[in-house]
């Protein structure tokens, strides 16, 4: 009888024991370091005006969750949802609009636009979803040639570009705080023995990217009741700096209030714990195993 009771107890517990032995693809934590889940992110996103999804560019879990969040927010917001992304440069907005409106074919868009090597697997599902549902998609990134110009010559390098090209970047001059950790760290990481293609203007090059993305986000309808879901590298929005900092500057110039939600993806060996430093990076942090399979590098 005793053996029977033990067997019956094990039978009841087996599903839970099996669940605990499964390998998890990710864990979610809130900004206080407490465990959360996808539904917590979705609930917060439904109440936000601007959502920053800070991804790891080559991580398939990030891209899967981006698409899931897009689909679930669309079910709630409909055409009030606007997608926006660092991975598409502002000078490709016209051809992107032509593709979204079904004016041009998929193969024409993909052959003529400047797309990342991992576009097909990681970003095409987002763009194609926007096309299917008829929702707006904003290419927020500065054309890379202008970021390279700032890296080479500082902000002064932008004095040489014409009026039409200036419409593709943040209104000059931009506010640049070199003591912000996101810029101070990137300049420090370059060091004295820097590669030939980098310079001590790297922080400024990062800032002009962030400022341009922020301005394009605000132009996407943030003050018109739209819900903007922006995809960017996590470094651009971690600790509410980078793009988020510039968005806050824009909001302060108005009498309006906007709710901002940040999500950050991080990789580490043990996903069952999170440091206070990493928890502070965003409102929600998605921890993914560091040995996760990667998509094609951008």
Global pTM reads 0.90
Strand order in the sheet with 137-141: 35-36, 27-30, 284-289, 260-268, 50-55, 227-233, 81-89, 137-141
Asked whether 199 and 137 are in contact (CB, 8 A), the reply is no
* Number of Cβ atoms within 10 Å of the Cβ of 48: 18
> In angstroms, rounded to a whole number, what is the distance separating the alpha carbons of residues 256 and 259?
10
pLDDT of 11: 45
Give tens-digit pLDDT for 59-98. 999 999 999 999 999 999 999 999 999 999 999 999 999 9
Q: What is the predicted pLDDT for the residue at 186?
A: 85
Q: Give the model's confidence band at 256: pLDDT under 50 very low, under 70 low, under 90 confident, else very high.
A: confident
Mean pLDDT, all residues of the chain: 91
pLDDT on residue 197: 53
**Average pLDDT, stretch 15-28?**
71
Residue 225 has pLDDT above 70, yes or no: yes
Q: How far apart are CA 180 and CA 191, in angstroms?
A: 17
Pick the closest to residue 56 from 45, 70, 66, 42 (CA basis).
66
Average pLDDT of span 170-193: 85
Kindly report, residue by residue over 284-298, the tens digit of the pLDDT: 999 999 999 999 777
**Domain range annotation of the chain:** 25-289
User: In this predicted structure, what is the pLDDT of residue 23?
Assistant: 85
* pLDDT at residue 156 is higher than 80: yes
pLDDT score recorded for residue 190: 64
Our CA dihedral for 248, 251, 255, 257, rounded to 10 degrees, sits at: -70
Of the candidate CATH numbers 3.40.50.970, 3.40.50.11550, 3.40.50.720, 3.30.300.160, the domain formed by 25-289 belongs to 3.40.50.11550
């Amino acid at each position: 009888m005793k053996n029977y009771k033990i067997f019956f107890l094990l039978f009841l517990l087996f599903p839970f024991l099996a669940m605990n032995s499964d390998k998890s693809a990710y864990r979610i934590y809130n900004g206080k370091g407490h465990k959360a889940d996808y539904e917590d992110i979705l609930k917060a996103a439904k109440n936000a005006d601007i959502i920053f999804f800070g991804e790891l560019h080559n991580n398939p879990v990030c891209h899967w969750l981006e698409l899931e969040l897009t689909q679930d927010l669309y079910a709630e917001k409909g055409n009030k949802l606007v997608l926006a992304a660092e991975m598409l440069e502002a000078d490709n907005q016209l051809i992107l609009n032509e593709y979204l409106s079904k004016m041009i074919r998929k193969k024409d868009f993909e052959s003529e636009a400047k797309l990342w090597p991992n576009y097909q697997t990681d970003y095409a599902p987002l763009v194609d979803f926007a096309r299917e549902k008829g929702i707006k998609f904003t290419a927020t990134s500065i054309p890379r040639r202008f970021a390279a110009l700032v890296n080479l010559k500082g902000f002064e390098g932008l004095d040489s570009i014409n009026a039409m090209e200036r419409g593709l970047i943040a209104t000059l001059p931009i506010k640049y705080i070199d003591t912000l950790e996101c810029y101070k760290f990137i300049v420090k990481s370059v060091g004295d023995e820097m590669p030939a293609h980098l310079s001590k203007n790297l922080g400024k090059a990062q800032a002009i990217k962030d400022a341009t993305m922020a301005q394009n986000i605000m132009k996407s309808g943030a003050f018109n009741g739209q819900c903007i879901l922006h995809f960017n590298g996590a470094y651009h929005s971690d600790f509410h700096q980078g793009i988020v900092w510039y968005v806050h500057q824009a909001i302060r110039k108005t009498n309006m209030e906007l709710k901002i939600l940040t999500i950050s993806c991080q990789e580490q060996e043990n996903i069952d714990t999170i440091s206070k430093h990493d928890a502070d990076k965003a409102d929600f942090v998605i921890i993914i195993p560091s040995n996760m399979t990667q998509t094609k590098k951008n």
